[in-house]
Structure 1
Amino acid sequence: MRFCNNCLTPVLAKDQNAIDIIKQEYLKDDCPWYLGYSGGKDSSALLKLVIGALSQLDTFHKDITVIYCDTGVENPIITEYVYDTFESLKVECSDLGLPLKYEIAIPKLVDRFFVKVIGRGYPTPTNIFRWCTDKLRINPVKQIIDQHPKATILLGIRNGESEQRDRTISKHSKSEYYLTQNGSTRNQIFSPIIHHSLKDVWATLKFNDFPNSIDSQKQGELYKDAGSECPVYRELPGKSCGSSRFGCWTCTVVRKDKSISKMIENGYSELTHLHEFRNWISVFRDNPEYRCNQRRNGQKGLGPFTLEGRRIILDRLLEAESKSEMVLISNEEIKKIKELWQKDMDNPKYIEKTA
């Protein structure tokens, strides 16, 4: 066992069982491992156990890459927490010689939220047209992982989250801790905490001091009003974001974002102007005055935002940025947005209103 005072702290029986399974699976082959991390409770508990498992091994034959997807519209409180955690983990794991690497996945410029909404005129996501999860979150991570088609993907999937979830897990189980993947990819999903309850997860975070960089007290503060995590990989059919706090501050899939409201009540007043923008655009989205009455495929119906509508959204966003004193959109994105506006203006097939 590698010498580390905190590594030797006794762990819960269920955690030790997970650690033993992680060690066994790690040593089984040379296929690379990727761990999907959102900063939420489940992925944090998983990461704690993986680091604990590695600390009990004497030698390492492959790296484990921890991936966080920064969509560009993540809750900025969570993003700051994740980036700080990553920096601390890099130092802590390096000092112990553990084979962990940390990587940030970022959507392609053309797929970023405001480029889609303000540049192309996409309506903000709804339950019917939920275009965001794949473009902002799943695809950027897949681009990293799919370079190794035989990779193992570690995810904080658990039984007991819902009956429907349990049925889906059962249907797609390859073995007790493995799930099959959709499509033709040969990657496999490994979930060492699949038998952890919600109580177990919090116990894992609270009672395992190692690694120090994952701060259970800070997470407890962020979870005052509870929440779940947006997926970082296409784990199972039907899994997507919804009422999760560990997701995008622009999310309009839910009617009301109670989580951000609660965070503001709990002292995160810097989120106020972001929340106001989110609430405004969720209403503005359905105003037919600022939507084309023809879709880009030529069919009749509510189409993209008109150019005027897109300009109004950008102005409101920049106003929110100024008031919040946070960077909400990059210069690179604004430049791309204006290029897309010009492309529509130059396109004779682009029609905003038909008789």
Structure 2
Amino acid sequence: MEQQIKTMLKENYLNDWRKTVILYSGGKDSSYLLTLFWEMLLELPPNLRTKTVHIMTADTGVEAPVMSDYLNRCLMKIKQAAAADRLPIEVELVKPSMRNNFWYRVLGRGTLISTPNTKHHPCTHWLKIGPTQAKFKEWIASAPIRLGEDKTVVTAYMGVRNEESARRKASISKYQIDEESLWARHSDFNEVMCCHPIKFVTSDEIWLSILEKGTLPFGVTAEELSIQYGEGILECGIKTSNEQGNSTCGGNGGRLGCWTCGMVSGKDPMLTRFIAEGHNYEGLLEWKNLMLSMRNDIRFREVFPRQYYNRISKNINGPEQVDLFDTDESTIADNYFETYQRATTDSYAPGGMTLEGRRLLLEHLLFIQERDGHALISENEIQAVLEAWEDTEGVCIPRTDIKPTAAQYDGELVFLPNKTVNRDKTKNKNKVFYISVELNKEENELYTFMKERQRTNQTSLFYFPDCQEFKDKKLVWNKATFVVCREGIKSEPDAVEYVHKWLGWRYGFFTEETKQAALNYLILSALSEGFQEKSKKEKYQAITRLAPLQVSENDNGQLVFAI
């Protein structure tokens, strides 16, 4: 079978006018494919080796250090062996742009990492699909214009096989020319033709061939590959679209190339395997589990998605206009009551991670990096994260203020969509208090005020916005119910004091805005309490004017009113 594959590769190489690209991940399949291509080139007379073969590899920037080191060694050996054998081979290492960098997205902008429960897995696109597609677009744009129906200009060789899984076979079948063909269309580019030379080769056949060779022609040994490979450890590989390429990230927990991947939590099979082999990766697993815990913690989540904040702050629709020439007080009150921008939420549907959470994770990452001696995040990436904080939150924090610091985390506080505590998933042992503060601020003013407090404190307090209405009085105002759960806060007065301090309601710390907000709070809370007491009194008086209620005894011997 190997000779048949190499014969096909030879015919393609000599007769295919398209740019030749081999997608290489360092796993057994892509290594086997590259081996057959390499041997085919060596069998050609030197005068026929005129066409460049591009070896494309994706560097996500968050591979496990041992895997990143292994792949870098492989690429170096490929370059050296190609030069020694005088083969026209070039290595193309593609990386995500800084705006699609994992640390920029997660720590900079607060984007939530994908988990098995999320519908979309954008990190695969940021880190792998995007960079490879950008390279394809570059090659397509620079290719000569071809006349005729065939517009393809790139041939992409992929080490995918039918035997991998039913899902992989279905993916191959969807775009293949026919059942027996090794050729397939690309799902996203009409200009790219895909070739699957090892489509019908089994895993056993590949391993047998690699072990027999001992050392692959580009210098990687079978022993090195098998040690790194482990239990399917290198099968994530390079991807060029959502549907084509090697196995999807974290699909079954067998291979998680990115150590930060959230598709498998808890006892991450890749990291636990590396730890068992003696690698110092306990800190990596610790950081990843911290990130996943904080991801669902209400205390580190924005009240709304950023897009919602942006829409509110722009106030696109705006309140209905009040007739300024109407001096009738009842009409003015009606208009105010009807047009007042109420701040209400029906459910708990928070946004991304708060700045406080992002900073905690960054400083803990630096702590692990320094303690364990790993290169996890570069200075350029740190600077990009800080710039993202200024861009998204308006907070400028100097690099010198960011210190390696071990996180003091007390366990997640998880809420359900109905705005109640999820008892099954909550690990936090502290008491939870709900502190309501009434504010005379319409919806956009309320959210703007809260964002400003968040910027000033550089800490966050999650709150549920709501409004207080007294329809008979034509009075309405907004309020915020804060969720307070912190070590050391054991009583409601402590929680109230904490909220008031966060709002800036402390002598000597007042601004004009916080002072006015505090005064409004005192007035509105007094009015609210007074109206509610009056309403209760009126209801009580109405009940006492009714005929006496009959009292009876139920089956349990309890006295009950018969209504």
TM over 0.5: yes
Residues 249-287 of structure 1 show CA distances to partners (whole Å, capped at 9, x for unaligned) of 11111234212211210222x222112211221222111
Deviation at 1:109, TM superposition (A): 0.7
Q: Partner residue of 2:285?
A: 275
SS at match of 2:51: coil
Residues 144-223 of structure 1 correspond to what in structure 2 (within 5 A)?
Answer: 144-149=135-140, 150-175=153-178, 176-208=181-213, 209-223=215-229
Deviation at 1:180, TM superposition (A): 1.3
C-alpha contact (below 8 Å) 2:24/2:237 kept by paired residues: no
- The answer to which of 239-248 and 142-151 deviates more is 239-248
Matched, 1:51 2:57: no
Amino acid paired to 1:322: E
- The answer to which of 270-279 and 228-237 deviates more is 228-237
Residues 211-250 of structure 1 correspond to what in structure 2 (within 5 A)?
Answer: 211-234=217-240, 237=243, 240-242=248-250, 243-245=253-255, 247-250=257-260
Q: Partner residue of 2:4?
A: 17
CA distance in 2, matches of 1:38, 1:276: 27
C-alpha contact (below 8 Å) 1:138/1:231 kept by paired residues: no
Q: Partner residue of 1:34?
A: 21
CA distance in 2, matches of 1:219, 1:57: 27
Residues 253-264 of structure 1 correspond to what in structure 2 (within 5 A)?
Answer: 253-255=263-265, 256-264=267-275
Deviation at 1:116, TM superposition (A): 0.4
CA distance in 2, matches of 1:228, 1:23: 27
Deviation at 1:228, TM superposition (A): 4.7
CA change 1:274–1:82 in 2 (3 A) is same
Deviation at 1:93, TM superposition (A): 1.6
Q: Partner residue of 2:114?
A: 125
CA distance in 2, matches of 1:86, 1:231: 14
- The answer to which of 93-102 and 219-228 deviates more is 219-228
Matched, 1:70 2:80: no
C-alpha contact (below 8 Å) 1:169/1:236 kept by paired residues: no
- The answer to which of 101-110 and 274-283 deviates more is 274-283
Residues 6-43 of structure 1 show CA distances to partners (whole Å, capped at 9, x for unaligned) of xxxxxxxx222221111111112221111111111111
CA change 1:283–1:22 in 2 (3 A) is same
Amino acid paired to 1:78: M
C-alpha contact (below 8 Å) 1:15/1:204 kept by paired residues: no
CA distance in 2, matches of 1:166, 1:346: 49
C-alpha contact (below 8 Å) 2:79/2:90 kept by paired residues: yes
C-alpha contact (below 8 Å) 1:307/1:341 kept by paired residues: yes
CA change 1:236–1:200 in 2 (3 A) is farther
Q: Partner residue of 1:6?
A: none
C-alpha contact (below 8 Å) 1:153/1:187 kept by paired residues: yes
Residues 160-199 of structure 1 show CA distances to partners (whole Å, capped at 9, x for unaligned) of 1122321232222125111211134310111111111111
- The answer to which of 295-304 and 270-279 deviates more is 295-304
CA distance in 2, matches of 1:214, 1:230: 19
C-alpha contact (below 8 Å) 2:35/2:218 kept by paired residues: no
Amino acid paired to 2:239: Y
Deviation at 1:302, TM superposition (A): 2.2
Deviation at 1:153, TM superposition (A): 0.9
Q: Partner residue of 1:134?
A: 125
Residues 335-346 of structure 1 correspond to what in structure 2 (within 5 A)?
Answer: 335-346=383-394
CA distance in 2, matches of 1:213, 1:302: 51
CA distance in 2, matches of 1:334, 1:281: 17
Q: CA RMSD in A?
A: 2.1
Q: TM-score, normalised by structure 1?
A: 0.90
C-alpha contact (below 8 Å) 1:205/1:216 kept by paired residues: yes
Amino acid paired to 1:134: H
List structure 1 runs of 4+ shifted beyond 4 angstroms.
347-354
Q: Partner residue of 1:323?
A: 371
C-alpha contact (below 8 Å) 2:26/2:234 kept by paired residues: no
- The answer to which of 208-217 and 327-336 deviates more is 208-217
C-alpha contact (below 8 Å) 1:68/1:104 kept by paired residues: yes
C-alpha contact (below 8 Å) 2:108/2:384 kept by paired residues: yes
CA distance in 2, matches of 1:21, 1:163: 26
Identity, % of aligned positions: 28
SS at match of 2:306: coil
C-alpha contact (below 8 Å) 1:39/1:246 kept by paired residues: no
Deviation at 1:148, TM superposition (A): 2.4
Q: Partner residue of 1:7?
A: none
Count of residues in Structure 1 that have an aligned counterpart in Structure 2: 341
CA distance in 2, matches of 1:236, 1:27: 31
CA distance in 2, matches of 1:42, 1:163: 17
Q: Partner residue of 1:285?
A: 295
Matched, 1:310 2:315: no
Deviation at 1:311, TM superposition (A): 0.7
Greater strand content? 2
Where in structure 2 are there 5+ consecutive unaligned residues?
141-152, 310-347, 396-446, 452-459, 466-563
CA change 1:85–1:237 in 2 (3 A) is closer
Deviation at 1:236, TM superposition (A): 6.2
Q: Partner residue of 1:3?
A: none
Residues 286-308 of structure 1 show CA distances to partners (whole Å, capped at 9, x for unaligned) of 11110112012218722111010
Q: TM-score, normalised by structure 2?
A: 0.58
C-alpha contact (below 8 Å) 1:48/1:214 kept by paired residues: no
Where in structure 1 are there 5+ consecutive unaligned residues?
1-13
CA change 1:123–1:281 in 2 (3 A) is same
